[in-house]
Amino acid sequence: MSEFEGKVAVVTGAGGGLGRCHAIEFAKRGAKVVVNDLGGSVDGTGAGDAADAVVQEIVALGGVAVANKASVSDREGAQSIVQTAIDAFGRIDILVNNAGILRDKTFKNMTLDEWDLVISVHLNGTAYVTHAAWPLMYAQNYGRIVLTSSGSGIFGNFGQSNYGAAKMGMLGLMNVLALEGANHNVRVNTLAPGAATRMTNTVPGRAEDVEAPPAERHPKLVSPAVLFMCAENAPNGAVIHAASGSFSMSQIVVNQAVELGVDATYEDLEPLGERLMDMTGAKPRERRPARRR
């Protein structure tokens, strides 16, 4: 038996691409899955039945799944995603926040509506669904939550300021939730994936067959990292990169401080700029202990 046997997993944006693969991999290992997807286009417009198609696919494989077609960026819709798990299966053990859209433009040409929409779906949508699941996981002293970031946020990518800001926001949210959930066995981690999907095909110069993606770019090669972050012995507060069968971890590190004291001025710091920017021997900052509340 798999350790996921009988667990209840919610995967948002699971009507295709990465989310579909995550949902199928959980279901293949005996988890009961809520497949959420609005069914719209990559830019967030429209709606459809993509979630139903994935549910049918899981059932055909012998798995158990139900569909939810709410938008994560709508507060009531986000609540309904978690409620679907409770109504169908009585609990929620795993939440994979995968849903997202793109509205790529350089910052100079981007409208504030395009900024707000991407932030709303990615960052707010993740917070809304997680907020609905959080008290249930907290009360049962068990939960595994995955947030989905991107290299665009962690390292930057031209023309994706709205997307990059939302994706880097996942790390800030994770850092806090990993502390707040620790004493109740609720572990929160972040995925930074790379694969051929409808979203990546909107990037200029990228034209991959997402229906039959290249073997090395298949979304299913990302899913092992998601299951790793949702396992019984999952890490807490980790950022895992997954692409093409390659898996790695990134951390924020801090170098040795330049100590100038309480009378420090710019004139004191300026000649020591090279030392300030030297990352030799930099280390991760020690995580603050969780407090019980």
Q: What is the DSSP letter of 154?
A: H
Which stretches does DSSP call E strand in the chain?
Answer: 8-11, 32-36, 64-68, 94-96, 143-148, 186-194, 239-243, 246-250, 253-254, 283-284
d(CA 165, CA 173): 12
Which domains can be identified in the chain, with CATH numbers? 8-251 (3.40.50.720)
Residue 259, pLDDT score: 97
Query: What are the pLDDT digits (tens) for 57-71?
Result: 999 999 999 999 999
pLDDT at 214: 66
In the predicted model, residues of the chain with pLDDT beneath 70 are 41-46, 197-214, 217, 288-293
Quick one: residue 39, left, alpha or beta (phi over 0 = left, psi -120 to 50 = alpha)?
Answer: left
pLDDT of residue 201: 43
Residues annotated as part of the active site = 163
Residue indicated by tokens 């807490």:
236
pLDDT at 149: 96
Distances (CA, A) of 4 to 25, 226, 232: 10, 12, 9
pLDDT at position 289 is 63
For tokens 């069914």, name the residue.
Answer: 39
